[in-house]
Amino acid sequence: MLYFTHHVAIQDRLRINNEIRADELRVIGNDGENLGVLSRREALAAAERSSLDLIEISPSANPPVARIADYGKFEYERRKKEKAVKAKAKISETKEVQIKVGTSDNDQNLKAKKAAEWLSEGHRVRAEIFLKGRYKGMNEEFLKGRLELFLKRIPYAFKMAEPITKSPKGYAGVIERDLGAQKKREQDQINHENK
């Protein structure tokens, strides 16, 4: 059982030095230079001469690829890159905001603020004008116009991700943030305040 847990720990991280099993390796030097295909013994000797580790970075390649580097630094950089990738892949959702033909200005402003908050967090926002009863028979251009007026209230720069079209409950469109336009908007606001 002890062997098994040790084996799992090795699989969790990259193999280094004597843990490497391949007879031949394509070796990359510490400065990124290609040292060619070397036997495991030659590769270990080259790493030892540099007072560094031999790290198997691509075990499934043929032959496997190993790099001569300081394992501690290499692992630190690898973890840092993984964290950066995870941070960039932060899940964005499509949030929904709904208004009706008779929604008051105050309520529209509150919903527009909430939509701006979601946009600033990187989410998309599906804005919908909800129709029921007699409102369903109203002029399409008028209804789309009402939804466009609501979108203009949103205090955050956005672009249309999906245009306003008929939806099962009324009319809806999807917006997403426009970072370039938002930066310009914020800069204009600073310039205006400094006048």
Say whether pLDDT at 91 is over 80. no
pLDDT per position as a tens digit, 92-140: 788 999 999 889 999 999 999 999 999 988 899 999 999 988 888 888 8
Using CA atoms, how far apart are residues 182 and 119, in angstroms rounded to an integer? 11
Using CA atoms, how far apart are residues 7 and 27, in angstroms rounded to an integer? 25
- Both structure tokens of 133: 């009863």
Our measurement of the distance from residue 113's CA atom to the centroid of its chain's CA atoms, rounded to an integer in Å, reads 24
90 sits in which H/E element: none
pLDDT per position as a tens digit, 49-61: 999 999 999 998 8
Domains and CATH numbers, the chain: 2-78 (3.10.20.80), 94-193 (3.30.110.10)
What does the pLDDT read at residue 1? 34
For the entire predicted model, the pTM comes to 0.52
Report the amino acid identity of residue 191.
N
Asked if residue 154 lies in contact with residue 115, where contact means CB atoms within 8 angstroms, the answer is yes
